[in-house]
Amino acid sequence: MNGPDPREKHPMAGFPQVCFIKNTVKNPNIVIGDYTYYDDPDDSENFERLVLYHYPFVGDKLILGKFCALARGVRFIMNGANHKMSGLSTFPFSIFGNGWEKVQPAMADLPMRGDTVVGNDVWIGYEALIMPGVRIGNGAIVASRSTVVKAIPPYEIWGGNPAVKLRSRFAPEEVARLEAIAWWDWPIAAVTEHLPLIVGGDLDALQAVSDKIRPTGRGT
């Protein structure tokens, strides 16, 4: 077998709280990689309700990589939450119309922060909050109930409100090697075959396999 079918909504028999959310999200501005799951006993399929202020006219995207683990209550605040701050009032008069639309702000007046991008093999804990435009690197971990307001480099653990770096998971040279190996881009048969190495601690052995699968040792 080559692992669970990435097209399945609920890959664990008897546990509908776990959902491969790529198969349930309809919004074209939410892009999700294979095997990324959301765990929620209330409604694991309705992940889109956790992506807040995501208005289509803004055009920003939420991009989640492969093999991410999202705990219950994770939320993503998107750029539609932003108000104009260059004037004396921040109240969004224009959205209510009836004569107030005459102060419609230009998109350039809003504090846009771009797409929110989460890498591969990222673990985001219970009720964590990710703010607009944040980028989270491969292999990072976000602690429960953290508020992430700035970029998290690969393979670092962050927590708190606002979240700060708690520690690195690996030495810088090891992180560089893991980024180059990019096991999440291997054929799924190779991932399945070499799971003991992927979840183990022998980086040299994983590197040796990667060099055979992808001779350059680089991710795609």
Catalytic residues: 83
Cis peptide before 11 (omega within 30 of 0): no
Question: Can you tell me the distance from the alpha carbon of 90 to that of 84, in angstroms, rounded to the nearest whole number?
Answer: 6
CA angle 7, 135, 156 (to 5 degrees): 95
Q: What whole-number distance in Å separates Cα of residue 70 and Cα of residue 128?
A: 9
End-to-end CA distance of the chain: 24
Q: d(Cα 197, Cα 26) in Å, to the nearest integer?
A: 35
The pair of three-digit structure tokens given for residue 59, joined into one six-digit string: 């055009």
CA angle (211, 213, 215) in 5-degree steps: 45
